[in-house]
């Protein structure tokens, strides 16, 4: 009989990456525990956009019907509005749709899927200690309302976000001083937003994402270089005032939110960017934002979390089958992750450089509007249905210049 506190894999973090990885490992017959400091459902700061490619992942996990039962909005693409007001809508085409729904709903579905697959799901369980076990593997200390408990694991997975305890505890974090943006997000009612796509509005203060959600709500998220996040009162009036002032400071965001009111939030987080020096170690692996996060402008966070979990599951399954979970055995995950995301991260950095140059951004937006096929290709890249390398090639740039 298996010790109820002993697992092959303990996953710290029950977000999309952690829950997906746990389910995939359970489908392979592995014993898995998922620990999360929160109790679900809970809100999470995010653009709350699910790319088209994620739907096949949900189907493989057995949760697609449950996701669709939450009534998500279906997106035909995403739009960018330049500083000068030029709107460019990139479409996925071929009947492909992305989804938008609250992380409150999505994460709950994914975590429940992990539970149904047989994973031990420990909510309200914060990982507070991590040490090598004399018997091999790790001892993972978790704190719950009733006190502390110790779990044993052959492998520990850090799926605990940008401020990952696992990454920090094991020295896998690397400073990211150059990109220090913050995000402030709220769920609002009464926002003027299209029914079938979200908008990214480039503003003097950074940018603002407006994304339609089920039940007449909208996700409104502003990303700025710095933000005052102190909340002196129980209602967080200072942060709410800051959020409203930002939206009112630009004609496009002011027009879309003039009649809106906040239903939930606002919440703030930052700095957004983080890097991992390594994403694997002896018996350790990082997934999702814990393995690195740059900027949410392209809306790829959820898609990359799911894809990273799939890559991790494949490597972990093989390592556990062979009985070797050392760093060398897990290195293929790091290499595959780098190959999978390298071009998208290059594109993200190019876009960030573009955002700091308003006149150039307006010029590019004008060219994309003249040649919708280029805008559609960009949309498919951010929707994970086209290779990012296609927009990094000289031919794409030449066509953009000649449009």
Q: What is the pLDDT of residues 61-72, one digit of tens each?
A: 999 999 999 999
What's the pLDDT at 394? Answer: 87
- Checking if the pLDDT of 151 tops 90, the result is yes
- In this prediction the pTM is 0.93
Q: Select 182-269's CATH number: 3.30.70.2450, 1.10.3720.10, 3.40.50.1820, 3.30.70.270.
A: 3.30.70.2450
pLDDT digits (tens, 9 = 90+) for 304-348: 999 999 999 999 999 999 999 999 999 999 999 999 999 988 888
Taking residues 66-81, what's their average pLDDT? 96
Task: Give the separation between CA 344 and CA 288, rounded to whole angstroms.
Answer: 15
Q: Which DSSP letter does residue 298 get?
A: T
What's the pLDDT at 235? Answer: 47
Q: Percentages helix, strand, coil for the chain, rounded to the nearest 5? A: 40, 30, 35
What's the pLDDT at 146? Answer: 85
What's the pLDDT at 175? Answer: 66
Residue-range domain boundaries for the chain: 6-75+98-177+273-344, 182-269
pLDDT digits (tens, 9 = 90+) for 199-250: 999 998 889 999 999 999 999 999 998 654 444 444 457 899 999 999 999 9
Provide the pLDDT confidence category of residue 402 given band limits of 50, 70 and 90. confident
β-strand partners of 32:
9
User: Which conformational region is residue 263 in: left (phi greater than 0), alpha (psi within -120 to 50 degrees), or beta?
Assistant: alpha
Q: Which residue has the higher pLDDT, 360 or 397?
A: 360
User: Percent of the chain beyond pLDDT 70?
Assistant: 94
- Checking if the pLDDT of 256 tops 80, the result is yes
Taking residues 263-292, what's their average pLDDT? 91
**Can 6-75+98-177+273-344 and 182-269 be said to share one CATH topology?**
no
User: Percent of the chain beyond pLDDT 90?
Assistant: 74
Residues 6+ apart with CB under 8 A from 144: 122, 124, 125, 126
Nearest to 308 by CA among 157, 83, 113, 115: 157
Domain 6-75+98-177+273-344 in CATH 3.50.50.60? The answer is: yes
């Amino acid at each position: 009989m298996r010790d109820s506190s002993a697992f092959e894999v303990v996953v710290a973090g029950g977000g999309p990456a952690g829950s997906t990885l746990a389910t995939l490992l359970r489908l392979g017959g592995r014993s898995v525990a998922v620990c999360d400091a929160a109790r679900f459902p809970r809100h999470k700061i995010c653009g709350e956009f699910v790319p088209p490619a994620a739907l096949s992942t949900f189907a493989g996990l057995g949760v697609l019907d449950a996701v669709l039962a939450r009534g998500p909005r279906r997106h035909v693409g995403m739009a960018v509005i330049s500083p000068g007001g030029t709107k460019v809508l990139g479409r996925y085409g071929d009947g492909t749709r992305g989804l938008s729904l609250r992380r409150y709903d999505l994460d709950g579905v994914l975590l429940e899927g992990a539970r149904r697959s047989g994973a031990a799901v420990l909510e309200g369980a914060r990982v507070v200690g991590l040490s090598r076990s004399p018997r091999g593997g790790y001892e993972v200390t978790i704190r719950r309302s009733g006190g502390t408990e110790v779990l044993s694991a052959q492998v520990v997975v850090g799926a605990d976000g940008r401020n990952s305890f696992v990454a920090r505890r094991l020295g896998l974090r690397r400073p990211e001083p150059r990109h220090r943006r913050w995000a402030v997000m709220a769920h609002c009612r009464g926002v003027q937003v299209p029914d079938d796509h979200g908008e990214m509005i480039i503003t003097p203060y950074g940018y603002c994402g407006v994304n339609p959600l089920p039940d007449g709500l909208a996700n409104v998220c502003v990303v700025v270089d710095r933000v005052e996040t102190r909340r002196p009162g129980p209602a967080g009036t200072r942060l709410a005032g800051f959020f409203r002032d930002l939206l009112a400071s630009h004609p496009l965001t002011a027009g879309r939110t003039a009649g809106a009111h906040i239903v939930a939030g606002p919440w703030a987080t930052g700095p957004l960017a983080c890097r991992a020096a390594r994403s694997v170690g002896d018996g350790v692996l990082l997934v999702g934002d814990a393995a690195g996060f740059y900027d949410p402008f392209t809306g790829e966070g959820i898609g990359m979390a799911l894809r990273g979990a799939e890559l991790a599951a494949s490597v972990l399954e093989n390592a556990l089958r062979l009985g070797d979970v050392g760093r060398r055995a897990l290195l293929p995950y790091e290499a595959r992750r780098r190959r999978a995301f390298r071009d998208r991260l290059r594109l993200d950095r190019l876009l960030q450089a573009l955002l700091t140059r308003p006149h150039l951004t307006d010029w590019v937006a004008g060219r994309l509007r003249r040649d919708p096929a280029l805008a559609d290709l960009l949309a498919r890249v951010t929707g994970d249905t086209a290779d990012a390398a296609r927009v990094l090639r000289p031919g794409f740039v030449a066509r953009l210049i000649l449009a």
